[in-house]
Amino acid sequence: MWWIIALVVVLLLVLYVIAAYNGLVRARNQVDNAWSQIDVQLKRRIDLVPNLVETVKGYAAHEKATLEAVVSARNAAIAAPDTPGGQAAADNQMTAALRQLFALSEAYPDLKANTNFLALQEELTATEGRVAYARQFYNDSVLGYNNRLQTFPTVILANMFNFTQREYFETDEASREVPKVQF
């Protein structure tokens, strides 16, 4: 009779290990999926920048420093490492450069009224919203995954099977400041 109890305990333990392991795998895959969504949206934004720069060039060609900053930020974003920290740094640089570019439109009424510029600005605004949503979803996924890795008894399995914590996608303090543009 005691062997039946021992068998049931062992069976329950095995079922728990299987369920916990599968839960860790699902959480890790959700983080990977969320990261790919950020990547898609950041690439979408990068692809819009050349058209925006060309449109602005026609109206504000003498604003060369701002246009070069946008192109430089785009190149940095393309070359950024495929990690949350690397992409966040490139994202911060791109956001700051685009803010300066959009601030230029206030000084050039013809540019501000240009339908191509307005369409690109609208598309970038929509993309920024998608990036923000993807970033939030990614960070929520990382939170859930990291919590699973750190709570008992799952932490034991996570260490046994080499599950590692993931990094949040965070912006730096400088990117939260309103840019100062002087004409």
CATH code for position 58: 1.20.1440.20
- 164 in a structural domain: yes
Q: How far from the centroid of its chain's Cα atoms is residue 94's Cα?
A: 13
pLDDT higher than 70, residue 139: yes
- 51 in a structural domain: yes
**What are the Cα distances from residue 176, in Å, to 35, 44, 113?**
22, 22, 28
Find the range with the poorest average confidence among 10-14, 123-127, 157-161, 168-172: 168-172
* Alpha carbon distance 155, 107 (integer Å): 57
* Alpha carbon distance 176, 183 (integer Å): 22
Tell me which residue range forms the domain holding 125. 35-176
- 144 in a structural domain: yes
Q: Average pLDDT, whole number, for the chain? A: 88
Angle between helices 64-79 and 2-59 in degrees, nearest 10: 160
Over residues 93-128, the pLDDT tens digits come to 998 888 888 887 788 888 878 888 888 889 998 999
- 182 in a structural domain: no
pLDDT higher than 70, residue 183: no
Q: How far from the centroid of its chain's Cα atoms is residue 175's Cα?
A: 14
- 131 in a structural domain: yes
- 19 in a structural domain: no
Over residues 20-59, the pLDDT tens digits come to 999 999 999 999 999 999 999 999 999 999 988 888 887 7
pLDDT value of position 141: 97
- 70 in a structural domain: yes
- 61 in a structural domain: yes
Q: How many domains does the chain have?
A: 1
pLDDT higher than 70, residue 173: no
